[in-house]
């Protein structure tokens, strides 16, 4: 048994082993389990962007990009197995798309010198690059999301939320618990009452939480859900006739699969997003020509343009730009993980650059530095139009409340530094 | 033929009742131990340690723990995941509170705390048994997970509710945290697995074990012949939880390094370990290892074969893998309801007589 396993792994390593000068980005995806509906779309977007670069430009700076997939099923043990299996010399960066796996990988990747890129998820305080040297979470993090949601509600209520009731419906895991501290601070600052309603993983079972919402009648519900939890929550909200326009999800609760199950009842549901949606960007002409039409798209390209797919594309785009920057700084296309980290820290994606990439206005400008690994953290709101079956962007990018977030991030990252025995780097 | 008993004379009770009565078995066992200690640590890499051997050894410890309760004492339990969580949170709180004390003592203390919790939840076993007890321990599973999720003191008020293992070393070698070498992680798990298996083997063939088995086989008869059901059942719960607590502590501190109670110690973990015990063989220490190997190694081997070897899409491979593992479990249990241990025992019996069956 063990012998055959050894033989098999060696054989696998020989077959999958990258040729020299290829850029290896191990892709920890999940296409099975309770989070598959969303995870599979994200993975498709991530793959297709790099397929496009390979097909159209021959990779980045002449180096082909490989994204060998490994199935994690959103499970931390499998995540660890995938990390160990793919952690070769050539592996540059990990984007595990799971907050739980990110927490496992932060110490490991930092010790191994691999970049960990967690756009819109993972450990929020990783924004502090002085402590988290190898972790990046631009363009926005969970606390930014909570702050933007509250800012939007302030905007809706003439700048005053006093006496309002906001309920947080969250996935009872590291992911869902992340925004609680921020929302508590914000409730102190703005005078609203916050009620916290945990939903146990995976999240189909939330009858009692909605019963409580029905009884308490909160003015707004903010949701941090993922996978099967999202459609279940939106269906329950429709069942108790909760006004959909007062129901705001984080960006991970804003995919098509989440709202479609509730049909017309989901009309008006809002969610945050840090990227554009739909296929009305010049980029998609190239994608169709080089990837979808020749049949090279993941799963035949059936999710192209969906909201979660777009987030996968956006994550890949930022990694791609960081690689480009790193190649520029290193003067060679064949970069290593440390050079990629430098590329991330020098990353500067302007609006003009986004237009050049065929995605004008798709995302906010991102400028990172040694100290700031999280960018500006802006997000915007989108609303579901059930009749047209599409998401519409309803606000411009909203800046989160740094006054509240900065001390929280400083405190949390300092606590981590103390726990892990890290001396923060000197940089600004 | 393969097993030779000729010339293997036993002249004392001690020799007669040893774990490996055949000289050949004894030598095979010693050779295995020698390879495990003297060869494996020098050739092991990160993948073999973190993805295969460390989880295998930890699950084997948990399976031995559950096997004592279910296999030897006949008390059905579905609370294994919850008890592992107790071990994990105990080692976390202890190692953060007393950083000067060696982690080995913390792991043992975590086992002790779990033993107390296990005995507490074992109290209903004095009144109820079988499915009713399974439901009572299921309540323990859900209660413990809920408790560790709900009370921030257990996770030191961290924002996300995750616990992270601090870096700790044994004899100058890092065993937890990212700087731990694969060999160090493997050796500490091996040491614990060895000691646990040794203790379990000796307990189960001594008076304590016979009391457990008497209770398992027929509790009223056992009571009549003088077995105290209170002490027998509670010691079974205590010893079982002690081992499961050690497994939970190692699982969190050495293997994962960070854990989230609902995800790492959910009801699925209880089922997984119960399956290991059933597949491996109830009431067998070897069976606990065999069951853990089956449930940990087979999915990894299949994944490496289907994705790495054949290049199948990862989702298809994951589904096929579930089907194959599930199918094999069914086939195994039809072919040999007493598990891998019984299969191994029968093979040995046959080989002792081969080529002259009777």
- Does a structural domain hold residue B54? yes
Residues 6+ apart with CB under 8 A from B346: B336
Owning domain of residue A36: 5-140+280-333
Q: Give me the residue from A15, A80, A200 closest to B256, CB to CB.
A: A80
Q: Give me the residue from B160, B167, B308 closest to A178, CB to CB.
A: B160
CB contact under 8 A, B160 and A172: no
Q: What is the mean pLDDT of residues B85-111?
A: 94
| Shortest alpha-carbon distance between residue B69 and chain A (Å) | 26
- Cα–Cα distance measured from residue A306 to residue A43, given in angstroms and rounded to the nearest whole number: 12
- Does a structural domain hold residue B232? yes
CB contact under 8 A, A31 and B159: no
Phi and psi (nearest 5°) for A392?
A: -115, 135
Q: Over the stretch A83-106, which tens digit does the pLDDT of each residue have?
A: 988 888 788 999 999 988 998 899
- Does a structural domain hold residue A39? yes
| Shortest alpha-carbon distance between residue B347 and chain A (Å) | 17
List chain A residues with CB under 8 Å of B262.
172-173, 200-201
Cβ burial of A15 (10 Å; 0-12, 13-18, 19+) is exposed
Q: Give me the residue from B303, B305, B308 closest to A16, CB to CB.
A: B308
Q: What is the pLDDT of residue A21?
A: 64
Q: Is A214 helix (H, G, I), strand (E, B) or coil?
A: helix
- Cα–Cα distance measured from residue A195 to residue A216, given in angstroms and rounded to the nearest whole number: 9
Residues A289 and A20: beta-carbon distance below 8 Å: no
- Does a structural domain hold residue B134? yes
List chain A residues with CB under 8 Å of B297.
1-2, 5
Q: What is the pLDDT of residue B2?
A: 65
CB contact under 8 A, B297 and A420: no
Q: Over the stretch B241-287, which tens digit does the pLDDT of each residue have?
A: 999 999 999 999 999 988 888 888 999 999 999 999 999 999 899 99
CB contact under 8 A, B50 and A80: yes
CA B290 to chain centre: 10
Kindly tell me if the per-residue pLDDT of A6 is higher than 70.
no
Q: Over the stretch B38-56, which tens digit does the pLDDT of each residue have?
A: 998 999 988 888 889 999 9
List chain A residues with CB under 8 Å of B307.
12, 69-71
Beta bridge partners of B350: none
Q: What is the pLDDT of residue A114?
A: 92
Beta bridge partners of A70: A28
Q: Give me the residue from A75, A107, A173 closest to B178, CB to CB.
A: A107
Q: Over the stretch B144-192, which tens digit does the pLDDT of each residue have?
A: 999 998 898 998 888 788 888 888 888 888 888 888 899 999 999 999 9
Kindly tell me if the per-residue pLDDT of A19 is higher than 50.
no
Question: Which residues of B sit within 8 Å Cβ distance of A?
Answer: 46-47, 50-52, 55, 149, 158-162, 164, 166-167, 177-179, 255-260, 262-264, 266, 293, 297, 300-301, 303-305, 307-309, 311, 313-315, 317-319
Beta bridge partners of A275: A363
Q: Give me the residue from A4, A70, A415 closest to B314, CB to CB.
A: A70
Q: What is the mean pLDDT of residues A124-149?
A: 92
- Does a structural domain hold residue A387? no
ipTM of model: 0.87
- Does a structural domain hold residue A70? yes
Kindly tell me if the per-residue pLDDT of A2 is higher than 60.
no
CB contact under 8 A, B319 and A32: yes
- Cα–Cα distance measured from residue B160 to residue A106, given in angstroms and rounded to the nearest whole number: 14
Place of tokens 């050949």: B24
Name the nearest CA neighbour of A298 among A43, A68, A40, A44. A44
CA of A203: which chain B residue's CA is closest?
B262
Owning domain of residue B171: 45-266
Q: Over the stretch A367-416, which tens digit does the pLDDT of each residue have?
A: 999 999 998 899 999 999 999 988 999 999 999 998 999 999 999 899 88
List chain B residues with CB under 8 Å of A200.
262
Q: What is the pLDDT of residue A18?
A: 42
List chain A residues with CB under 8 Å of B149.
172, 198
Q: What is the mean pLDDT of residues A291-319?
A: 92
Residues B249 and B110: beta-carbon distance below 8 Å: yes
CA of A113: which chain B residue's CA is closest?
B178
- Mean pLDDT score across all residues of chain B: 90
Q: Give me the residue from A12, A32, A181 closest to B318, CB to CB.
A: A32
Q: Are strands A27-29 and A390-393 parallel, antiparallel or unpaired?
A: unpaired
- Does a structural domain hold residue B222? yes
| Shortest alpha-carbon distance between residue B161 and chain A (Å) | 6
Instruction: Indicate the number of domains in chain B.
Output: 1
- Does a structural domain hold residue B58? yes
Instruction: Indicate the number of domains in chain A.
Output: 1
- Does a structural domain hold residue A156? no
CATH code, domain with A34: 3.40.50.2300
- Does a structural domain hold residue B318? no
- Mean pLDDT score across all residues of chain A: 89
Which of these ranges, A2-6, A103-107, A305-309, A370-374, has the smallest mean pLDDT? A2-6
- Cα–Cα distance measured from residue B29 to residue A420, given in angstroms and rounded to the nearest whole number: 40
| Shortest alpha-carbon distance between residue A201 and chain B (Å) | 7
Q: What is the mean pLDDT of residues A312-331?
A: 93
Dihedral of alpha carbons B306, B310, B311, B315, sign: negative
- Does a structural domain hold residue B195? yes
CB contact under 8 A, A84 and B164: no
Q: What is the pLDDT of residue B212?
A: 95
Q: How many residues does chain B have?
A: 358
CB contact under 8 A, B318 and A112: no
| Shortest alpha-carbon distance between residue A352 and chain B (Å) | 37
- Per cent of chain B over pLDDT 70 is 99
Q: What is the mean pLDDT of residues A268-272?
A: 94
CB contact under 8 A, B160 and A80: no
CB contact under 8 A, B308 and A201: no
List chain B residues with CB under 8 Å of A16.
308
- Does a structural domain hold residue B212? yes
Q: Over the stretch A166-225, which tens digit does the pLDDT of each residue have?
A: 999 999 888 898 899 899 999 999 999 999 999 988 888 899 999 999 999 999 999 999
Residue B289 pLDDT grade (very low, low, confident, very high; cuts 50, 70, 90): very high
- Does a structural domain hold residue A118? yes
- Cα–Cα distance measured from residue B50 to residue A144, given in angstroms and rounded to the nearest whole number: 35
- Cα–Cα distance measured from residue A405 to residue A111, given in angstroms and rounded to the nearest whole number: 28
Q: What is the mean pLDDT of residues B103-127?
A: 93
Q: What is the pLDDT of residue B160?
A: 80
Q: Is B184 helix (H, G, I), strand (E, B) or coil?
A: helix
- Does a structural domain hold residue A299? yes
List chain B residues with CB under 8 Å of A29.
314
Residue A17 pLDDT grade (very low, low, confident, very high; cuts 50, 70, 90): very low
Residue A50 pLDDT grade (very low, low, confident, very high; cuts 50, 70, 90): very high
Kindly tell me if the per-residue pLDDT of B68 is higher than 50.
yes
CB contact under 8 A, A81 and B317: no
Residue A428 pLDDT grade (very low, low, confident, very high; cuts 50, 70, 90): low
| Shortest alpha-carbon distance between residue B264 and chain A (Å) | 8
CA of A11: which chain B residue's CA is closest?
B309
Q: What is the pLDDT of residue A188?
A: 93
CB contact under 8 A, B179 and A111: yes
- Does a structural domain hold residue A225? no
Kindly tell me if the per-residue pLDDT of A117 is higher than 90.
yes
| Shortest alpha-carbon distance between residue A103 and chain B (Å) | 7
- Per cent of chain A over pLDDT 70 is 95
């Amino acid at each position: 048994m063990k012998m055959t396993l050894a033989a098999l792994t060696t054989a696998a390593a020989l077959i999958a082993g990258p040729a020299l000068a290829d850029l290896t980005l191990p892709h920890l995806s999940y296409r099975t389990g309770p989070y598959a509906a969303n995870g599979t779309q994200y993975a498709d977007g991530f793959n297709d962007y790099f397929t496009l670069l390979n097909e159209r430009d021959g990779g980045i700076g002449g180096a082909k990009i490989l994204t060998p997939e490994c199935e994690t099923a959103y499970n931390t043990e499998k995540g660890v197995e995938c990390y160990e299996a793919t952690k070769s010399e050539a592996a540059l960066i990990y984007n595990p798309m799971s907050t739980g796996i990110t927490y496992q990988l932060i110490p490991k990747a930092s010790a191994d010198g691999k970049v960990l890129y967690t756009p819109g998820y993972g450990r929020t305080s990783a924004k502090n690059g002085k402590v988290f040297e190898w972790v990046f979470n631009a363009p926005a993090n969970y606390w930014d999301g909570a702050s933007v949601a509250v800012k939007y509600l302030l905007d809706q209520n003439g700048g005053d939320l006093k006496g309002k009731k906001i309920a947080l419906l969250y996935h009872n895991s590291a992911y869902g618990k992340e925004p609680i501290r921020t929302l508590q601070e914000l409730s102190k600052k703005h005078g609203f009452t916050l009620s916290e309603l945990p939903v146990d993983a995976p999240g189909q079972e939330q009858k009692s939480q909605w019963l409580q919402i029905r009884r308490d009648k909160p003015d707004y519900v903010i949701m941090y859900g993922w996978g099967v939890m999202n459609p279940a929550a939106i269906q329950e909200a429709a069942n108790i006739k909760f006004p959909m326009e007062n129901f705001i999800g984080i960006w991970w609760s804003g995919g098509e699969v989440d709202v479609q199950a509730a049909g017309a009842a989901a009309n008006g549901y809002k969610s945050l997003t840090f990227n554009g949606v739909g296929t009305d960007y010049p980029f998609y002409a190239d994608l169709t020509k080089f990837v979808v039409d020749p049949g090279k798209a993941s799963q035949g390209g059936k999710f192209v343009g969906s909201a979660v797919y777009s987030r996968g594309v956006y994550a890949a785009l930022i990694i791609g730009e960081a690689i480009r920057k790193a190649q520029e700084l290193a003067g060679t296309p064949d970069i290593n993980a440390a050079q990629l980290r430098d590329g991330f820290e020098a990353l500067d994606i302007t609006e003009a650059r986004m237009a050049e990439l065929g995605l004008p206005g798709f995302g906010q400008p991102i400028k990172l530095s040694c100290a700031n690994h999280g960018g500006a953290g802006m997000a915007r709101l989108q609303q579901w139009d059930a009749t047209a079956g599409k998401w519409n962007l309803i606000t411009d990018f909203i800046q989160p409340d740094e006054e509240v977030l900065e001390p929280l991030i400083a405190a949390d990252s300092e606590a981590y530094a103390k726990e892990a025995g890290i001396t923060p780097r000197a940089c600004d | 033929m393969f097993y030779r008993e000729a010339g293997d004379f036993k002249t004392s009770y001690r020799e007669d009742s040893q774990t490996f009565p055949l000289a050949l078995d004894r030598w095979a066992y010693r050779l295995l131990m020698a390879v495990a200690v003297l060869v494996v640590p020098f050739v092991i890499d990160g993948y073999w340690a973190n993805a295969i051997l460390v989880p295998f050894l930890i699950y084997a410890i948990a399976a031995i723990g559950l096997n004592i309760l279910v296999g030897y004492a006949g008390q059905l339990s579905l609370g294994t995941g919850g008890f592992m969580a107790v071990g994990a949170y105990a080692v976390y709180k202890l190692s953060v509170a007393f950083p000067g004390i060696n982690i080995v003592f913390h792991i043992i203390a975590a086992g002790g705390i779990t033993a107390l919790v296990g005995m507490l939840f074992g109290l209903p076993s004095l009144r109820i048994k079988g499915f009713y007890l399974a439901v009572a321990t299921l309540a323990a599973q859900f209660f413990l997970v809920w408790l560790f999720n709900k009370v921030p003191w257990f996770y030191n008020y961290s924002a996300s509710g995750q616990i992270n293992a601090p870096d700790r070393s044994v004899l100058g070698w890092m065993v937890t945290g990212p700087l731990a070498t694969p060999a160090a992680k493997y050796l500490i798990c091996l040491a614990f697995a060895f000691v646990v298996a040794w203790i379990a083997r000796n307990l189960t063939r001594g008076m304590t074990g016979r009391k457990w088995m008497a209770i398992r086989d027929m509790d009223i008869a056992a009571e009549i012949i003088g077995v105290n059901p209170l002490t027998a059942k509670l010691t079974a719960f205590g010893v079982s939880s002690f081992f499961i607590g050690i497994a939970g502590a190692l699982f969190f501190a050495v293997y994962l390094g960070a854990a989230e109670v609902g995800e790492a110690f959910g009801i699925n973990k209880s089922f997984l370990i119960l399956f290991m015990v059933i597949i491996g063989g109830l009431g067998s220490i070897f069976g606990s290892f065999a069951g853990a190997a089956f449930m940990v190694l087979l999915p990894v081997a299949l994944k490496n074969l289907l994705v790495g070897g054949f290049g199948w899409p990862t989702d298809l491979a994951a589904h096929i893998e579930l089907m194959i593992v599930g199918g094999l479990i069914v086939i195994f249990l039809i072919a040999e309801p007493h598990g891998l241990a019984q299969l191994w025992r029968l093979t040995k019996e046959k080989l002792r007589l081969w080529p002259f069956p009777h």
